Structures are given as C-alpha cells and as structure tokens.
Amino acid sequence: MATALIILAAGQGTRMNSDLPKVLHPLAGVPLIQHAIDSGAAVSPERTIVVTGHGADQVEAAVAQIDDTITCVRQEEQLGTGHAVLQARAALDGFTGDAIVLYGDTPFIGQDTIEALTAARAQHDVVVLGFEAADPARYGRLVVEGDQLTQIVEYKDATEDQRAITLCNSGVMAADAGVLFDLLDGLGNDNASGEYYLTDAVAIARARGLSAGTVTCPEAETLGINSRAELARAEAVFQAAKRAEAMDNGVTMYAPDTVFFAHDTYVGRDSVIEQNVIFGPGVTVESGVKIRAFSHLEGCHVSRGATVGPFARLRPGAELAEEVHIGNFVEIKNAVIDEGAKVNHLSYIGDAHVGQATNIGAGTITCNYDGVFKHHTEIGARAFIGSNTMLVAPVRVGDEAMTGSGSVITTDVPDGAIGIARARQANKDGLARRLFASLRAAKAAKAAKNKETN
C-alpha cells in the first residue's frame, strides 16, 4: 500500500529564543527536519508533505535542498496539530493509501518504528505511537483496553487512575489518508487553548465504530526539541549512539567522548580515530584509516590505509586514495590525492590533482583563486614539490618533475624537469655586522632619550 508522510514544521519554537525556525536548528550537522524526513524514508513514501508556518520561506528553502520532490504547504494560523494536518489535504488530493504524521522537531523516530506503524494498520484503522515513560510528568496518556486504544487523555484532564498510566502519547499517528481527513473534519476547539488537536481524532474514530491501536517504541525515540538545552541533550544522545555503533563495528577510539559524528558519517572497521576529531556531513572513511587528533573532516572520502592529521582539515571534495598521508596543519579542498602521495606539513591543496607517490613539501600552496574564478593545479605522479612552493593556477607540474624550494611557479613544469622561480641570492660581505651595529646604536640612543624624559 502506498504511504504518504505529513511532517508538521509550522511551530515557532519560542523557547529556542532564536530568529531561526526551530526545525532548522542543526543536530548532527543537519537541520532537525532532515532527521524526520530520513526516518520516514523507511516506508519509501509516495509523497511527503511538510506543513510550514513560522519562518516558512526559510523552512521551505531548506526542505528543497534536502529533497526537491517534497511538497510544502502553509499553516497561515497556528491553530493546533489537527488543523496543521488538515492543511495537507489539497496536496494529497487523489492519493490512495496511508498517511503517517511525524514532527519536524522530533528527530529520533526509528525506521523500524515507522515500519511497525505501517504494519499495525492491518489490524487498526488508526494507529498511535506510544512509549513507556520513566517519568510520565505531563504527557498525554494512552488508555488501552486489550489491543484497543480507547482514548488519549491530556494530563490536565486525566483522573488519578489515568495519571498512573505510564504509556504516553508521542503524537505520531498513522491512518488511511481519507479516513484521517474525515476524522479531522470532526474536530472541535472547545479547550483552554482554542486549538484543534490531532489527538482528538482517536475519540472521534471510536465514536464512529473504527478501531484504534498502539505501537510502542523506546522513550528516547520520542524526544522532542523545544529549547537549546533539549537540543544539546539530543546531540548528546545522538553522539553516544553513534560512538557506540562505530565501536561495535570495529572502530577504535581512544577518547570517544571527544569524537563528534554527523548524521551520515561512515567509518570502516579497523580504523583508528584519535582524540578531538570532528566529522561534518558527507564523510566516508574506509577500513584501516588513522584519523589523528584535532582533525576536522567534511564532505570527503578517505580510502583504505590513509593517515590524516593531526590538526588536518579535509573540506568538501577532498578525495584521498589508498595509503595517502595528510599531515599536521594541512588543508585539502576539492582535490584528488592519488595513491601513496604525501602532504605532510603546513600546506594548502585546493582545486587540484596530486599524482601517485608524489611528495608535497612543507608550506606548499596551490594559489587557486584570482578573486573571481577558481583555477586547477595538476601535479603528476612521483613528483617532488619543494618546501614553500607557490603553485599559481592554472598550472601543471609533470610526472617525476621537481620544484625548487621557495619557488613561485607560474608556468608548466614538463615531465622530469626542475622548475626554479626565485631571485638569485646575493651575499654582501660584512653588511650584517654593520647593520646590527647601526640598529643597536639606534636602540641605545632611544633608551637614553626615554631615560632623560622620565
């Protein structure tokens, strides 16, 4: 059966105290809403609808970057969750299948849980996701008799017996799309907030003789983000799980609490990650790689047996082949480094291709930007780039070629040649002693004058 996702992302998030819409605050390197979209991907949705409101332009632009096939609709007035879901009706016109309601600020709903919701629809017309709360506090309670969900009771309306229930409402719901919208047409707003609540759909379904049931998940999956403190806690939850997963998969970390992953980081087994390493989005590290301390990686691929760091930075487009060495205070951006090449010290390699087994000397810079355009540098195989070489792109250094230390290379160096581009050294006999003597005399005169003044 086809499935549609309806992701609610219209709330202002006033407790975030931010100009940025709540669902765009980053968690594990990507906006919160991307986590909700990724969770729903488990059921390969035919359509995904995001309901926007506060900061709609920003949210819609971010959603388009994540997946430009997603449809955004607006909730011009924030009149409750039931009202928000109704805004998706027109976008689902003609759709036949189930609709699952998710929340853009609830990032941890697991794909297994989404699949369980869809499976439960075979037994019930409406399925609600619940969780056993360690501290139910003021969560809404799910009242269940046998396998039937009889009602959702808000804490403020619950009896003492109902408040003793620990099965709580996550807000996530699944139902046939047509049935869901029919139920929501029956909502009222006779409550203290004057809003139309999605949770009231269960009581309406029961009154119409429909079946309602529950699926449960761990409480941690239902964590919603409403404040900076909750965002920080969510980041800690994500990182702890990602670190444990990495170690279970055969990755060594000496100080795992100091390593930070992005939502899509992949690290192969028998790799070693030293202290204080940060992964941004889009990083793949193959097996047997060593990432040394205080390195930062994003948007890059590191092949088997490579070494990166310490204090290295790999930026988007960095592609390291097998057995490559990237050393301390080296930055690589939009560059391919072929097998066995070494860039070990204090260098910047951008918009470049470095050939197999080439050695890049300390302080080398590919001068790739002229203030308007980026230009490419090509360095051949088994070349040797002398320390402190400036390679002014576009330029090519050939296979088995060399550059002299301190050179500014502005034209191509042929295969097997040495490129030297620096002024001829001139030694002036005795000039250093005379210069030092003059400078020391000037310093002494200045000190004497200051003493007289004081």
Residues identified as active-site: 345
Euclidean distance between CA atoms 33 and 69, whole angstroms: 15
CB 197 within 8 A of CB 152: no
Query: In this structure, what are the phi and psi dihedrals at residue 283, rounded to the nearest 5 degrees?
Result: -110, 130
Tell me which DSSP letter residue 93 carries.
T
DSSP H or E stretch at residue 448 = helix 431-453
Q: How far is CA 441 from CA 213, 431, 433, 451, 452, in A?
A: 93, 15, 12, 15, 17
Nearest to 377 by CA among 333, 330, 312, 321: 333
Residue 320, CB-side half-sphere exposure with 13 Å CA sphere: 39
CB 32 within 8 A of CB 13: no
Neighbours of 94 (CB within 10 A): 4
The residue behind tokens 């007035």 is 77
> Going by DSSP bridges, is the β-strand pair 301-302/284-285 parallel, antiparallel, or unpaired?
parallel
Euclidean distance between CA atoms 89 and 334, whole angstroms: 44
**Burial class (CB within 10 angstroms; exposed 0-12, middle 13-18, buried 19+) of 300:** buried
- Please give the biggest Cα pair distance in the chain: 106
Neighbours of 371 (CB within 10 A): 4
DSSP 387-428: TT-EEESSEEE-TT-EE-TT-EE-S-B-TT-EE--SPPP---
